[in-house]
Amino acid sequence: MIHINTKYVTPFLKGDMNDYQSRVNEIHHMIHEKTGKGSDFLGWVELPNTISEQLPRIQSVADRLKQYDVLVVIGIGGSYLGTKAGLKFLETPFKHIKPEIIFAGHNMSSNYMVELLEYIKDKSVAVNVISKSGTTTEPAIAFRLIMDQLKARYSKVELQSRIVATTDQARGALFQLSKAEGYDQFVIPDDVGGRYSVLSPVGLLPLAVAGYDIQEMISGAKKAYEDASNPDLTKNVSYQYAVLRYMLYTQGKKIEMLASYEPNMQYVNEWWKQLFGESEGKENKGLFISSALFSTDLHSLGQYIQEGERHLFETVIHIDQPKKDIVIQAQDQDLDGLNYLAGETLSYVNTKAEEGTLLAHQEGNVPNIVLHLENVSEASFGYMMYFFEIACAMSAYLIEINPFDQPGVESYKKHMFQLLGKPGY
């Protein structure tokens, strides 16, 4: 479902990808035998196989939540970005779905929260509150504020139908609170970190509420699992991608920009940025992770990419089969000068824009790794999530850091809690 074109990166590389085969073999075994740094957090590796037994319950709770107007998904970081990525990737633009899925707890903007409360006050509301630790401040505050409204509107029994908590199996304030109130609970396994949790109930429940086929998602993820099970670099595209970005990094590149030509990739970009940024950016190492949506950003960042400082490379995701297409028709009077495109599809023009950009950026000394994703479907979404997760683990182990912790995120919390006067800080 994903294949790679290395034509626009190979000329920039010193050495050969296959030189890294023995290191890749070692890391592959570290991942599967759980012997590397952070090995307590490798539960996501088998998730495509282990999650299947939970799918009927996830689907049944999702079917119940579908009766409401709005599902508020409360979470931050890995507890919301995968869902957002899936919703945007699979959406039909301009089509409103019911229930509408909206997000809270990923910011602490008072304006956003007041407007959200106003927006939901006359609607029939359900909530999926997601926090592995069950103690993260942003979603905890959002949950409290939203529940203040909902408790004034619905009985305790009614709330038990509408509120679902996705959290740890035994610990944390959210676990205790939702147990005490009798809310449905889904478990985020101990060994699955937030940014590797999209293929668990964290992502699957809200995506099922939105009407997407989670069985298909998992069958795509299983395919990615199988494709990544052989560490042979001539076959394993996830590992090829990991090694290429490692080579570029060790040969002086500092920034990786994920680029695509389809707006439905917007939140895949954001999810990917969290996955790689939070996994690799530690011990003063790691590529800085950024993203762009072309053509839009060709008319803003494009100038910098072409002629700015030469410290970046791009990874382009090309979607091979667009969901819809349209033919450009000839006009009698060619006033806009576009008759030379008559008979061509818009996707053809988009592809030529991509090819032209690849050539231009190559001339500007920007290496490009091109990943071809087969289509836009639940299966390709599941495939892509797993593809990047395993590539990220390989990448992070190549630079010899723990891919599964995020010690740097604690610093801002410590200062914030001191400033807020939280007991114990």
Q: Which two tokens stand for residue 336?
A: 């806009």
Q: Give dist(CA 80, CA 64) in Å, integer.
A: 21
Number of residues that bind ligand PA5 (CB under 6 A): 14
Q: Give dist(CA 319, CA 42) in Å, integer.
A: 29
Q: Which stretch binds ligand PA5 (CB under 6 A): 193-201, 282-290, 354-362, 382-390?
A: 193-201
Q: Output the smallest distance, CB 390 to ligand PA5, in A.
A: 16
Residues 137-156 that bind ligand PA5 (CB under 6 A): 139
Among 128, 136, 350, 368, binds ligand PA5 (CB under 6 A): 136
Closer CB to ligand PA5, 189 or 194, in the complex: 194
Catalytic residue among 413, 414, 415, 422: 413
Among 28, 84, 106, 132, binds ligand PA5 (CB under 6 A): 132
Q: Output the smallest distance, CB 294 to ligand PA5, in A.
A: 27
Q: Output the smallest distance, CB 360 to ligand PA5, in A.
A: 35
Residue 76 identity: I
Q: Give dist(CA 404, CA 392) in Å, integer.
A: 10
Among 36, 43, 77, 86, binds ligand PA5 (CB under 6 A): 77
Residue 402 touching ligand PA5 (CB under 6 A): no
Q: Which stretch binds ligand PA5 (CB under 6 A): 22-30, 94-102, 141-149, 190-198?
A: 190-198
Residue 78 touching ligand PA5 (CB under 6 A): yes
Q: Output the smallest distance, CB 70 to ligand PA5, in A.
A: 21
Name the residue with tokens 């939540």.
65
46 is catalytic: no
SS3 of residue 185 by DSSP: strand
Among 1, 79, 289, 319, binds ligand PA5 (CB under 6 A): 79
End-to-end CA distance of the chain: 49
Catalytic residue among 262, 270, 278, 314: 278
Residue 194 touching ligand PA5 (CB under 6 A): yes
Residues 217-236 that bind ligand PA5 (CB under 6 A): none
Q: Which two tokens stand for residue 41?
A: 């957090």
DSSP 8-state secondary structure symbol assigned to residue 29: H
Whether the upstream peptide bond of residue 206 has omega within 30° of 0, thus cis, is no
Q: Output the smallest distance, CB 410 to ligand PA5, in A.
A: 10
299 is catalytic: yes
Among 48, 193, 231, 286, binds ligand PA5 (CB under 6 A): 193
98 is catalytic: no
Q: Give dist(CA 5, CA 318) in Å, integer.
A: 10
Among 84, 106, 195, 361, binds ligand PA5 (CB under 6 A): 195
Q: Give dist(CA 219, CA 225) in Å, integer.
A: 10
Closer CB to ligand PA5, 278 or 280, in the complex: 278
SS3 of residue 97 by DSSP: coil
Residue 318 touching ligand PA5 (CB under 6 A): no
Q: Output the smallest distance, CB 179 to ligand PA5, in A.
A: 17
Distance between alpha carbon 374 and the CA centroid of its chain, in Å? 18
Contacts by 365-368, CB closer than 8 A, 24 or more apart = 365/12, 365/310, 366/305, 366/306, 366/310, 366/312, 366/313, 366/314, 367/8, 367/9, 367/11, 367/12, 367/13, 367/248, 367/253, 367/313, 367/314, 368/8, 368/9, 368/313, 368/314, 368/315, 368/316
Residue 278 touching ligand PA5 (CB under 6 A): yes
φ, ψ of residue 367 to 5 degrees: the values are -65, 145
Catalytic machinery residues = 278, 299, 413
Q: Which residues bind ligand PA5 (CB under 6 A)?
A: 76-79, 131-133, 136, 139, 193-195, 278, 406
